[in-house]
Structure 1
Amino acid sequence: MMNGQNIWRLPALLALGRSVGALAYESRSGHAPWYPPLIAGAGTVGKRLIDGPYVEEAMALIKRLEPDSYSEFLVDFLTQGRRRFGSNWMYADIVTVLLGLCDILQPATYLEIGVRRGGACVLSPPNIRNAD
């Protein structure tokens, strides 16, 4: 107590009351959540995107599409990157990031605005129930 006031207060960020469950700390009942709810930030998510299986998953899913010059280039690019640099290759693009974020965040729906060929709906992982 300082001048009759309790100086121990919970952070104001906790008043927001909203968070992404996959990245948020879940406070046990009756325990004060002293930290903001975010338990995994950009660095953690980024490392998982780079270290995860998403390049291989992207190649497998791209091969399901009708081939065009871009998809053929991309599969060749990914194959060469993995062959030359192995697991030390740090690569991410829109496809690998989409796969990784869907895996990490577990969204129920996915909406893509502006498509090249509409392939992202094919690329969206099976855990997404609604992909438009």
Structure 2
Amino acid sequence: MLRYFWTATQKDRIRDTCTEYNLPSKVRERIISTVELLDSYYGVGRSMDDDGGCVILIIDDDVSRTKRAYEEVLKKYHTCEEEREFQDILYSDRQEEYYADLYIVSSEIGITIIWYQKERS
């Protein structure tokens, strides 16, 4: 499952999605803070794909489907894992880890991909 968020006007949708999938509060907080930052730099009324980036949330319990979805996002934005600017661990416990990966895909567009891995190694 992929969800795209690009503006703070979607806060209710972000909260609903995080509640529906029982995501840790740190994940919700990162999504909201990122879209607020995007709004402050690029404006609220912008197009997700044309005017300043987004947060892409990947939620799937199946590791291979998560990987496939991640690769599809990278392909859509013409980038690859080697071009990742950084990776943050948003939340970690004995059962799972949530990550936020930042990619700068053009001079004006950055995407943050948030995904998780169950049963950490």
* TM-score, with structure 2 as normaliser: 0.28
Higher RCO (CA 8 Å, separation ≥ 6 residues)? 2
Q: Normalized per residue, which structure has more strand?
A: 2
Larger Rg computed on CA atoms: 1
* TM-score, with structure 1 as normaliser: 0.26
